[in-house]
């Protein structure tokens, strides 16, 4: 897959313990990759997609993932739907976030309280980057991979962004000759407590656009932000956005 | 459009309240709540009657809306046993009637009612875009312009970046890569 994961452990002055915690998390990510990567023919998911394994024959863990995907499909009114993709069911849009959650669990279980872990654009932060501070999470600017559109502040949070960063060709109104500003979604970011859900919701919100706020479970702590083709940001009031000069 | 949903839910529950207060005034109900068509004879209908419930919602719902589509999904048919003048003789058959789902622009709304004899005993909104009826306020503002107000990693003092999926090659160009080297 080639997804790069970054780990940033801030506590543990004992660097060996931090490295050991990260090593455990990395091993878990490899295990998850071996089981759920659709790019690996012998993986459990590939064998299921090829028809060699029925869903009932999948591991308990895989079945729980499928169950979570079904709930998310229902919540998002099928804007997140691993079953509608050609080639067979593909839960990657949930598994990536879930994997980050598993990595975070292991790092936490190893005794770390202040860290961030991320991969493929999704991430999880916990604790403080330094005493008395909150994590400041940048959200990539759609026009420049080295710039930010916004900053989110968090103590413990999962963040996921789904995007297509190429600008579409402007459609011109033949009556005026002026470009019609689109509300096409360029990127969708969702924050919330569960990393797998956040990943699925970001994918779904990207697909659904503004109407996605109808089903996004804000009361459960999930908040969303959209960047549209007309260079506007739309987010629900609970989205933990920091002002640009903060 | 969300108001339409709230008005609909308010209308439906309001009707239940009104009916339970006037359990015997079937004829009066039929005329003041024509949308429900309680006075119709045999041949239950499940088609909606446009506009009728708009007038009934005025008394019941807290969020009054005159949008026609708020009314459409509500009326869900008549018990065929209802006869306006013979309420004492009407058998207490219990029927569950389901209205047609109505597309509102934010998703479909579908209502189911349970009628016992001529009395509406239960109403359930089967499908509504916002089940909790919550209000979602969306803030909308301008994306920072690059090179003028752009937030760069150093001035913004961030530790980590959320961006769309990047592979190992894309990672090199990413801001996260720059942060990881700091």
From residue A181, how far is each of A162, A177, A207, A232, B94 by CA, in Å?
21, 12, 18, 11, 54
Q: Which tokens sit at B151?
A: 């937030």
Domains and CATH numbers, chain A: 5-169+176-242 (3.10.520.10)
pTM of the full structure:
0.67
Tens of pLDDT, residues A68-99:
999 999 999 999 999 987 889 999 999 999 99
Under DSSP, the state recorded for A202 is: H
Do the chains contact at B162 and A161, CB–CB below 8 Å? yes
Report the residue from A1, A121, A144 with minimal CB separation from B146.
A144
Q: In A, which residues are within 8 Å of B109 by CB distance?
A: none
Q: How confident is the model at residue A201 (pLDDT cuts 50, 70, 90)?
A: very high
Which carries the bigger pLDDT value, residue A56 or residue B126? Answer: A56
The arithmetic mean of pLDDT across residues A31-56, rounded, is 96
Report the residue from B134, B136, B152 with minimal CB separation from A147.
B152
Do the chains contact at B159 and A136, CB–CB below 8 Å? yes
Report the residue from B141, B151, B176 with minimal CB separation from A147.
B151
ipTM for the complex shown: 0.86
N residues, chain B: 182
The least confident of A73-82, B45-54, B93-102 is B45-54
Asked if A160 and A150 count as a contact pair (C-beta separation under 8 A), the reply is no
CA distance A56 to A136: 42
Q: Which tokens sit at B73?
A: 């999904």
């Amino acid at each position: 897959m080639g997804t790069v994961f970054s780990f940033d452990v801030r506590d543990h002055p004992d660097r060996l313990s931090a490295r050991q915690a990260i090593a455990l998390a990395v091993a878990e990510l490899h295990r998850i990759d071996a089981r759920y990567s659709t790019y690996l023919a012998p993986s459990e998911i590939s064998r299921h997609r090829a028809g060699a394994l029925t869903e009932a024959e999948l591991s308990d863990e895989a079945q729980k993932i499928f169950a979570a995907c079904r709930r998310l499909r229902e919540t998002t009114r099928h804007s997140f739907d691993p079953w509608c993709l050609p080639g067979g069911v593909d839960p990657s849009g949930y598994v990536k976030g879930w994997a980050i959650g598993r990595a975070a669990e292991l790092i936490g279980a190893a005794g770390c309280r202040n860290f961030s872990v991320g991969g493929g654009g999704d991430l999880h932060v916990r604790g403080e980057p330094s005493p008395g501070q909150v994590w400041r999470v940048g959200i990539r600017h759609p026009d420049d991979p080295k710039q930010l559109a916004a900053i989110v502040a968090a103590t413990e949070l999962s963040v996921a962004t789904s995007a297509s960063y190429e600008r579409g060709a402007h459609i011109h109104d033949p009556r005026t000759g002026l470009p019609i500003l689109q509300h096409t979604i360029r990127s969708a970011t969702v924050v919330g407590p569960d990393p797998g859900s956040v990943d699925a919701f970001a994918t779904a919100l990207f697909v659904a656009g503004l109407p996605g706020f109808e089903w996004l479970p804000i009361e459960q702590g999930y908040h969303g932000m959209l960047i549209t083709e007309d260079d506007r940001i739309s987010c629900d009031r609970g989205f933990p956005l920091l002002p640009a000069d903060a | 459009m969300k108001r339409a949903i709230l008005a609909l839910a308010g209308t439906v529950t309001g009707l239940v309240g009104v009916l339970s207060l006037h359990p015997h005034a079937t004829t009066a109900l039929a005329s003041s709540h024509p949308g429900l068509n309680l006075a119709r004879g045999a041949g239950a209908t499940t088609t909606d009657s446009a506009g009728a419930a708009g007038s009934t919602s005025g008394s019941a719902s807290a969020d009054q809306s005159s949008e026609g589509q708020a009314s459409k999904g509500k009326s869900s048919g008549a018990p065929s046993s209802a006869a306006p003048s013979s309420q004492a003789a009407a058998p207490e058959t219990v029927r569950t009637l389901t209205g047609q789902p109505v597309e509102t622009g934010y998703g479909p709304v579908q209502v189911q009612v349970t009628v016992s004899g001529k009395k509406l005993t239960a109403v359930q909104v089967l499908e509504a875009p916002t089940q909790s009826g919550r209000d979602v306020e969306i803030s909308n503002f301008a994306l920072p312009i690059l090179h003028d107000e752009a937030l760069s990693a150093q001035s913004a003092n961030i530790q980590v970046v959320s961006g769309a999926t990047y592979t190992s090659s894309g990672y090199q160009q990413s801001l996260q890569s720059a942060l990881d080297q700091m």
